[in-house]
Chain A
Amino acid sequence: MSRIELKDINKYYGDNHVLKDINLVIEDGEFMTLLGPSGCGKTTTLRVVAGLEKPQTGYMYMDDKEVINAKEAFYLAPGKRNLNLVFQSYALWPHMTVFNNVAFGLEVDNVPKKEIRERVKTALGRLKIDQFIDRYPSELSGGQQQRVAIARAIVSEPEVLLLDEPLSNLDAKLRVEMRSEIKRLHNELGTTIIYVTHDQTEALTMSSKIAVFFEGVLEQVAPPLELYQNPATVRVADFIGNPKINFVEGTAKAEESGLSVESIFGRRYFDKSDLTDEALKESRYDAVIGIRPELIEISETPVDDGIECTVYSVMPAGSETLVYLDVAGSERILAKLNGLVQYDMNQKVWLDLDPAGLNIFAKESGRLVKRAELEN
């Protein structure tokens, strides 16, 4: 059982305000990923949870137990929080064998020797590295060291497992393999996991929830699909998704039945049911339309409501084809099509847009005003 709650956390390094009013709840058994570009505060948040950093203000609770109460200068020691951490650098003790590295925490807790041996073996077995039990970290490859670090973290059966960019030092192939491994581990152990990464693919594929950070601010917390389809702000939309989302500027006008948005895509109407509270606050404002490349369809013959454009370049990649298009002579947008598709350069084509899939943001606040309809 472990529900983690962070409340009004603020952290400063000197004058540098690195965490700004962080409020985050992580439910028991959740796979929560903290995502954001480097320097956004995600690792600091993780270290606050671990107890390695003391925030200047705020509270933290694990279940109902108080862990941090900055106002009363109370910070529970890291070792007393029943959690464990896998460091980005692995932080394996170079002078200890794999066995000693993994057994260390159990020895500190005075677990009987026989039990230690068994538990270490189980943990190593679970990560398929039991054959390296007597090796030193320097005698292992990066991927094997990674597994030792994870084994060390899970051997004490912590309620919460923290992982700080654990895959960033691995090569691409190993990274994909470890992703599925960690996801399985989460499933088997049932522990709450907090996972820090700057890699959005990692976040989208592994997590049950993602918290996106920008410059010390927690911008959005949502399940991966929700985050992808309905990013709360332009910044999140821009950060999530590969290839990147297309942005087109337009003007939004509040109307009786909903919102109309004028842009190079023409004038489009959106029903009230898809709009957020902020959509109709002002009668007229600048808007940004976001459209995912894979939601764009191309027709070689004119279609109803189709938008005429020219092909700028085509990049086939086997399973998919990326097509750059010039709309209205000025805006360049990207479409992602399935399979191999061939167009000539400068060929005239028509875009077929489904208004349901569009995101609309208010330009000034950057906030989402029109949600895309979820397909599932």
Chain B
Amino acid sequence: MANSEQVEFSRKRRFKNRVKNVVQNPYNIMVLISVLLMIYLIVVPLGQMIKQTFTLAEQDAARIAGAKPGQFSFYYWKRVLVGSISDKMLWIPLKNSLIIAVFTSIFGVTLGSLFAWLMVRSDLPLKKFFSLALIVPYMLPSWCKAMAWLTIFKNDRVGGAQGFLGYLGMQTPNWLAYGPFAIITVLVIHYYAYAYLLVSAALSSINSELEEMGEILGASKARILTKITFPLVLPAILSALIMTFSKAMGTFGVPSILGLKIGYYTISTTMYNSIQNGQEKVAFVISLILIAIAALTVLLNQMAIGSRKSYSTIGGKGSRSNPIRLGKWRTVITVILFIFVILAVVVPIIILLYQSLMLEPGNYSFDNLTLHYWVGESVPTIDQGEPGIFKNPQFLKYVGNTVKLVVLTSIFATIFGQLIGYINSRGRNKASGKLVEQLVFIPYLIPSIAFGSMYLALFATAKKVEMFGYRVTLVPSLYGTFLILVLIAVVKNMPFASRAGTSNMLQISTELEEAAMIENAGFMTRFFRIVFPLSKGGMISGFMLVFISIMKELDLLVILMTPSQQTLPYMAYAYTTENLLQLSSAVTIVMFVLVFFVYWFANTFTDADITKGF
């Protein structure tokens, strides 16, 4: 009988059971694997990068009396922070980056939030059209818009073909064609999309009853907007602000196209230059400063929002909402919105298309039109003999590379994102769940270009250790392989993929799993028969998010790219730097069509919703 006073107690059995409990719990195994992977792929590279900045390289050791290569040194930090060229290397670019980031986030978020409010809460006409048109900028890489900008405003002072306005006889001033004004404008019409997506998600989760209550109490529309609606979406607006700021701080493509020609450097372009000049360690120092700034902004954000973050879901019950009438403003606002869509969305695409059809750059007359850059054979006198993209065997290879990279990355990032989302959602109250959540967030803080240089630092050479008489490769030399591109793209997109996964998994009540547990279903059965089928919709959304982001990714990959691994964005960028604008435009158009098609397909045939990842 079991009710004896002293139940027999076996230490051995307890130990065995304890081990079994830990090992047989799939949650623990998932946590263990993901923590190990993230330490290896995120923490170690970061640590490696920090270490590098304190280690003297061979070529620099000679400059310091009595120093040996490999020795600990503050040389690089001193050089960047207080050295004779630190103004040029850090402070001026930093100032430029800050100006760009601050203005971009203020204008971008204001614009995006306004659009979001109009789309979600007002009786704006043609919502279906606008809802698609307003996220097109998100599908087009930011630097493509920079190219379009140049095509219009380029002047003859810098060399190369003239812009459209120049062709019409109007010489544009330098400040308009290049530099901060151009960069900020281009970034604003790109990054408003993030704020738009974030804020509209928050707005649509607000129960309109909250606003109607204000109306019943006799508050005016303006008062309701400022006193009820705005405070409710403030957390979303703030996080959009932070996201835009940190993205703008690290952005590379736009400032490189619109800044370098007039010697206007930002932190990211300086960093890229340092790496190209073999000054990796200096670049790492700059990266770390950039990471610190990003971390600081996120910290400020968390302090500012804090517990108020939960606002966004309050009253999420009511999906019914009565739009607010715009009244006499309706027509005016619609027209303004139309003009915006034409300028920010339609014009850049048409310019790129038109540019790809111009035989001689800078000549905008109709008799200059040609399909040479699309389907023409190689002609030695045109563009150093580069054939049209569809006749270029390289192009097809790059399309293949891109598709391979995008598909692999999206699949892996989605699967890991969902698994980590599972850990986050099921381990919300556990230390392990919080650890995973924090770890996976780190890549968010690290600007793309810094992330690229970090991986370059880690994977440039193989690192082996002697273990039990065997040579074990701890870090393989991955530089120049396709694998490293997939790896970095997956890791960098993990914050978004896992957030999509978390919100997806949170919708699946744990009771649904427990009900299966009681039916004696093992973890795999539960996962494949219950969790997976229920999370399909969210998975496709997560997939889309990563897909679009990698399809146009340049900043992250530009440092790691080797000739044989090139992707479409890199090809377009490379053509731009060689001033082969028509070819570059043609490649960009192809890229855009691919992204747009996939988005349209997912939107039409699945219940994907890319706003989930924010």
* A residues adjacent to B (C-beta < 8 A): 5, 7, 50-52, 59, 61, 64, 66, 69, 71-75, 77-80, 83-85, 87, 89, 91-95, 104-105, 108-109, 152, 156
Contacts and interface: CB of A to CB of B under 8 A. Distances in A.
A52 B517 contact: yes
A5 B534 CA distance: 37
B224 interface: no
A86 to B, nearest CB: 9
B303 interface: no
B21 A79 contact: no
A104 B519 contact: yes
4 smallest beta-carbon distances between A and B, as pairs: A79-B520, A105-B519, A91-B511, A73-B17
Interface string B1-39: 111000101100110011001000000000000000000
B7 A105 contact: no
A188 B348 CA distance: 75
Contact of A91 (B1, B7, B13, B509): B509
Given A73-B17, A87-B514, A89-B511, A5 B519 contact: no
A72 B517 contact: no
Contact of B534 (A50, A73, A91, A94): A94
Contacts of B530: 93, 95
Nearest to B17: A73
Scoring B9, B10, B514 by chain A CB atoms within 10 A of each residue's CB, the highest score goes to B514
A347 to B, nearest CB: 48
B346 interface: no
Contacts of A66: 2
B17 A91 contact: no
Given A64-B2, A95-B533, A104 B21 contact: no
A85 B518 contact: yes
B517 A91 contact: no
A354 to B, nearest CB: 41
Contact of B520 (A59, A95, A109): A109
Q: What interface size band does chain B fall in?
A: 20 to 34
B124 to A, nearest CB: 32
B607 to A, nearest CB: 13
Interface in B526-548: 529-530, 533-534
Contact of A7 (B3, B14, B511, B520): B3
A74 B20 CA distance: 9
* Interface SS majority for chain A: mixed
B18 to A, nearest CB: 4
28 contacts: A5-B2, A5-B3, A7-B3, A51-B517, A64-B1, A66-B2, A72-B9, A72-B13, A73-B17, A75-B17, A75-B21, A77-B520, A78-B520, A79-B519, A79-B520, A84-B518, A87-B515, A89-B509, A89-B511, A91-B509, A91-B511, A91-B515, A92-B515, A104-B529, A105-B518, A105-B519, A108-B520, A152-B515
B81 interface: no
B7 A78 contact: no
Contacts of B13: 72, 74
Nearest to A50: B518
Contacts of B1: 64
A108 B521 contact: yes
Given A73-B14, A95-B534, A104 B516 contact: yes
B18 A73 contact: yes
Contacts of A93: 512, 515-516, 530, 534
Contacts of A152: 515
A18 to B, nearest CB: 14
B525 interface: yes
* Interface SS majority for chain B: helix
Contacts of A80: 520
Given A52-B514, A73-B21, 10 more contacts: A51-B518, A69-B7, A72-B14, A73-B17, A77-B520, A78-B520, A87-B515, A92-B515, A104-B529, A108-B516
Contact of B521 (A69, A71, A79, A95): A79
A105 B521 CA distance: 7
B2 A83 contact: no
B2 A59 contact: yes
Nearest to A89: B511
B520 A91 contact: no
Contact of B519 (A74, A75, A156): A156
Nearest to A158: B518
A115 to B, nearest CB: 16
A7 B514 CA distance: 24
Nearest to B18: A73
Contacts of A84: 518-519
A109 B516 CA distance: 12
Nearest to B1: A64
A88 to B, nearest CB: 8
Scoring B2, B509, B514, B517 by chain A CB atoms within 10 A of each residue's CB, the highest score goes to B2
Contacts of B3: 5, 7, 61
Contact of A71 (B9, B514, B515, B518): B9
B604 to A, nearest CB: 22
B589 to A, nearest CB: 40
A73 B514 CA distance: 21
A78 B14 contact: no
A75 B17 CA distance: 8
A83 B514 CA distance: 13
Scoring B1, B21, B521, B533 by chain A CB atoms within 10 A of each residue's CB, the highest score goes to B521
A69 B143 CA distance: 64
Scoring B3, B10, B520 by chain A CB atoms within 10 A of each residue's CB, the highest score goes to B520
A105 B520 contact: yes
B511 A87 contact: yes
B7 A59 contact: yes
Nearest to B530: A93
A105 B515 CA distance: 9
Interface in B500-524: 509, 511-512, 514-521
Contact of B512 (A52, A69, A91): A91
Nearest to B511: A91
B518 A83 contact: yes
A7 B3 CA distance: 8
Contacts of B534: 93-95
Contact of B17 (A7, A74, A89, A94): A74
A151 B323 CA distance: 45
A61 B1 CA distance: 10
Contacts of B511: 87, 89, 91
B2 A71 contact: no
B14 A71 contact: yes
Contacts of B516: 93, 104, 108
Contacts of A94: 534
Contacts of A109: 520
A52 B516 CA distance: 11
B432 to A, nearest CB: 15
